[in-house]
Structure 1
Amino acid sequence: MAGTATMERPADAKAAPVDQDVLIVGAGISGIGMAVHLQQYSPDRSFTLVERRADLGGTWDLFRYPGIRSDSDMHTLGFVFEPWKHEKTIADGPAILEYLNRIVDERHIRERIRLGRKVVGADWDSNAARWTVTLEDDKGGTTTTTARWLYLGAGYYDYDEPFDANFTGREDFKGQIIHPQFWPKDLDYSGKQVVVIGSGATAVTIVPAMTDPKNGQEAAHVTMLQRTPTWYFIRPAKDAFANFLRKILPEEVAYKITRFKNVKLQDIGFRRAREKPEKVREFLTKKLRAALGDRYDEQAFTPPYNPWEQRLCLVPDADFFEAMKKDKASVVTDHIERFDAGGIQLKSGKHLDADIIVTATGLRLAVAGKIPVRVDGDLVDWSEHYYYKACMFSNVPNFSAVFGYLNASWTLRADIVAEYVCRVLNHMKTTGTNVATPALVDPATLTEENIFDFSSGYIQRSLHIMPKNADKLPWRLSQNYVQDRIDMRTGAIDDNVLTFGNARAASATAPAELEAAE
């Protein structure tokens, strides 16, 4: 990329020059967060962000279905460095995009973002101690750029292909079939019968939104068709405590206090669900009964698993249940026999009439943004590598990625990963090195553990492609933010695992694990 080259420091004399020190892939929450952290903690490092889409925002630019909103409070989904200033703490997509756009403009990051650039290859050369990244534009043309460090903030799901449940007879349906990931811009659902298949956060967002005339139109009725019930957690969209603090304290102070409170409450709630699941089941069921009154259906709202064995589904202001009480929405628990011309035939013998069917059946996970990554010519098979410090990978040099928490907000991990990578970069500057590799010589010394102790379908379907997780640090992707924050901020960088070197010297410790996997 012309105009981004930097002068090499004496410590990098053995390494080939690069276009930027850090190449950030993705201009969503993870990528923007890394850019700001570099400005704050490693200001001597040049960086560029590349984004495949025509605008920044990642998830919040991709998804356009009615009611799109956060499923975490914005005091934790917001960045540690930028207070959330809106009254609503459960925010809609446009408000989150406004937040991200304000950050990149106020910090002059926008001029470092290259939009419409899809990464189609990344190759590490130990002789040059750099990545060569191949980019494709929207017309199919390719260019290359080089970087010392590659930081993936590309998210965790496939932007091109959502999970397809392959419903029998879908070609017979005479209405419209829509997946939330590809919502039509001008869909007319006014006065229509709509069936939303699924019971997760997307379905529970879409159902009340399509019944609310405030969104510009109103469906005649929306039915949520679920195979398995979900645990719901009801909370106000506005955080009264946060808004009170904002009136009496400086914005930054109020934000920090609220963020601390929300992190602690979430951590306590998750731990209690794991330690005393029956108590949490009783608590959530009591709240559901109160919200639904005589509309409460035990079959529809009693999952066959304990809370937090899958992610809790947030229902702000009980909007989903309010739509049910107004007869604008309903829940059916059944299995699909097939689609037919007029809707969905269920295995129970019932039929759901539909003009529109929304298949909110889940996402398809993707590792490393589906980018072919090679180290000295060898293609990296991520399922043969272990996580290191929840962001790097065994025997892959100068590479990091963000995979957020399942039991907390995505941004909590993005913040501490970005800060940690800056610590690594600063250590390299201090030691005069330009290569950092989490060295794992003998994988047999580790005991592999299920990477995600969650039963969610989208997780279980993708375990075979995910990096490995050990039963002990540093070779694991932990789900404990409170402890991770301490470890990432205060743990030794030079821990006798993360090895440092210069150019070819860094590859002297042969990546035995990678060779064995080929």
Structure 2
Amino acid sequence: MTSHHVDVLIIGAGISGIGTACRLRREHPERTIALIDRRQDIGGTWDLFRYPGIRSDSDMYSMAFEFRPWQQPQLLSDAGSIKEYLHETAVEYGVERLITFGRRVLRADWSSADARWTVAVEDVDSGRIEIWTCGFLATCTGYYNYDSGYLPEFPGSADFRGELVHPQFWPEDLDYAGKQVVVIGSGATAVTVVPAMAPTAGHVTMLQRSPTYMYNVPVRDTLAAALARVLPERAVYRFVKWRWVTFQRITFKACRRWPKVMRWWLLRSVRKQVGDGVDMAHFTPRYNPWDERVCAVSDGDLFAGVADGSISVVTDTIDQFTDSGVRLSSGAELPADVIVTATGLQVQMLGGFELYVDGERRDLHDQLVYKGVLIEGVPNLIWVFGYTNASWTLKVDIAGEYLCRLLSHLDDHGKAVVVARDHGDNLLDESMLDILDSGYARRARAVVPRQGKRDPWRMEMNYKLDVKVLLHDPIADGVLEFRDAPVNADAVA
């Protein structure tokens, strides 16, 4: 059985893992680190999804790392460009040579006696088990199951004679040229894949159970392009990032404070783009803006397709699949050669591995999260989880910087172990994702950590607040407990 030891072991080589590793390489070059990932390439989400049009739904200025600004002109970027950016970043900081691919984490055990983690890892090709040990564990695994997307049970789906595709497992050889395509769903994936398929398909119908709020985002930021001609790149990046982060936060807060006004504003924008001949009932949700995530429409491509007739939007529920399409509850039938089930993600924590502390199983659903980064009662583990109401990477960046601050604090005070303890009975029966009421957030309530009654046990999804809490507030706050290395521990972080 192969064994390895490093100071910090990072699970995941997507945006979260690469960002965290680069932070450590910058600020703690003396520490040994390693990354393990079950896939065969860098990228995580951006390596997994291959459906047409796959792109970011956040602006790239806030999605890129603070320490390596986005330099390309696209505001919303395709998956290939994002993967290339991640690869170049990993190479620049020497992280790419620290990644072991094709490894699935099965279990992680913390030993207080040894002040270290022991992580059981499976080589996915051979089935061989490897043992990794580390002083500090960083989980950068995202929040959904790579093996299984969310797929409701559709009556009669076995009878359908055409192609039935889930976007998470897109066939490389799928031919939809000139064909009738029905895309089930109205979330971020559907809003991306529908206009991407429309120019090639005979016709694309987006079939939704209920409408989603959408807004137009330009592919290029013209102001950034203009500023780049007269200002240094770093100054342009900082200004544009600040502008988009501020816009995101103000829009989110305005939707919560003045939902009727923001609803009118969003729907008015859609009306102007789809034209007067389109029934706005298909774009008018029953809920308030930002009760669910608002979908970004790249350069208005979906709206343009609806306006020119290459895309149809149908709001109805499914009675059953037939051999040639979908029969709706209204009695109407949608003919289809290809049906795409853009029905969402299957939420999963920690990439599915089991977590133990001194032999006791820890289920994240039963735990609080300290400042959005540490799990209550779990020593020497940072949980890197991004924002759901803004760019994911904004939180990843400051979580990685907080880890560096925390490790420096341990060094400065001669400590080896840190653990967050709740002494105030703060645990609520409330999901940390209850800020949203989308389908994946509701499904996640059974698996994600819970909210606390008060700080630092609440996740507010607020970048400005988190910058203060994670980067400026003192590390030692009376909630964190610090311990010396045990005398029998020969290697700790």
Q: Which amino acid aligns with 1:283?
A: W
- CA distances 1:212-267 after superposition (whole Å, capped 9, x unpaired): 3xxxxx11011000001000011211011111222212212211111111111111
**Among 77, 83, 87, the residue aligned to 1:101:** 87
Per-residue deviation, residues 101-134 of structure 1 (Å, max 9, x unmatched)? 1111122211111111111111111111001111
Q: Does 1:397 align with 2:397?
A: no
**Does 1:196 pair with 2:183?**
yes
Question: Match of 1:79?
Answer: 65
Match of 2:148 in 1: 161
Quote the offset at 1:440 in angstroms. 2.1
8 Å CA contact 1:129, 1:502 repeated in 2: no
Q: 2:315 aligns with which of 333, 345, 350?
A: 333
What is the CA-CA distance between 1:502 and the residue it aligns to?
2.4
Amino-acid identity (%): 45
Corresponding residue for 1:208? 195
Partner residue of 2:49? 63
Q: Is the 8 A contact 1:288 1:296 kept in 2?
A: no
SS of residue in 1 equivalent to 2:147: coil
CA deviation digits over 1:54-112, x for unaligned, max 9?
10100000000000000000001111111111111100111101111111112221111
Moved over 6 A (4+): 1-4
**Could you tell me whether the CA contact under 8 Å between 1:382 and 1:466 is conserved in 2?**
yes
TM-score (norm 2): 0.96
1:127 paired residue among 107, 110, 113:
113
Change (3 A) 1:450 1:366: closer
Task: Quote the Cα distance in structure 2 between the aligned partners of 1:295 and 1:477.
Answer: 43
Aligned residues: 486
**CA distance 1:446–1:269, shift in 2 (3 Å):** same
The answer (yes or no) to whether the contact 2:3–2:130 under 8 Å persists in 1 is no
Return the offset for 1:475: 0.7
Q: 1:344 to 1:424 in 2, by over 3 A?
A: same
CA separation of 1:446 and 1:120: change in aligned 2, threshold 3 A: closer
| Aligned residue in 2 for 1:14 | none
Q: Could you say which residue in structure 1 is the equivalent of 2:289? A: 307
CA distances 1:179-222 after superposition (whole Å, capped 9, x unpaired): 0000001111111111000000100100010123xxxxx11011
Residue-by-residue CA offset, 1:27-64 (whole Å, 9 max, x unaligned): 11000000111122222221101111010100000000
Shift of 1:3: 11
Give the Cα separation in 2 of the matches to 1:424 and 1:268: 31
Which whole-Å CA distance do the structure 2 matches of 1:32 and 1:102 have between them? 11
Letter of the 1:199 partner, please give it.
Answer: S
Q: Which amino acid aligns with 2:156?
A: G
Contact 2:2 2:130 (8 Å CA) reproduced: no
TM-score using structure 1 length: 0.91
Q: Give me the whole-angstrom Cα distance separating, in 2, the residues matched to 1:472 and 1:365.
A: 26
- Tell me how large the CA RMSD over aligned residues is: 1.6
For structure 2, the 5+ residue unaligned runs are: 488-493
Distance across 2 between alignment mates of 1:125 and 1:232: 48
Q: Against the structure 1 CA distance between its residues 202 and 187, is the aligned structure 2 distance closer, same or farther, given a 3 Å change threshold?
A: same
Counterpart Cα distance in 2 of 1:311 and 1:242: 26
Alignment of 1:252 with 2:234, yes or no, is yes
Equivalent of residue 203 in structure 2, options 197, 221, 237: 221
| Structure 1 residues 3 and 127: alpha-carbon distance in aligned structure 2, compared to 1, 3 A threshold | closer
- Superposed displacement of residue 448, structure 1: 5.1
Between the aligned partners of 2:308 and 2:84, the Cα distance in structure 1 is: 33
Query: Which structure dedicates a bigger proportion of its chain to strand?
Result: 2
Cα distance in 2, alignment partners of residues 471 and 151 from structure 1: 26
Q: Structure 2 counterpart of 1:106, which letter?
A: E
Letter in 2 for 1:495: D
Residue number among 127, 131, 134 corresponding to 1:147 in the alignment: 134
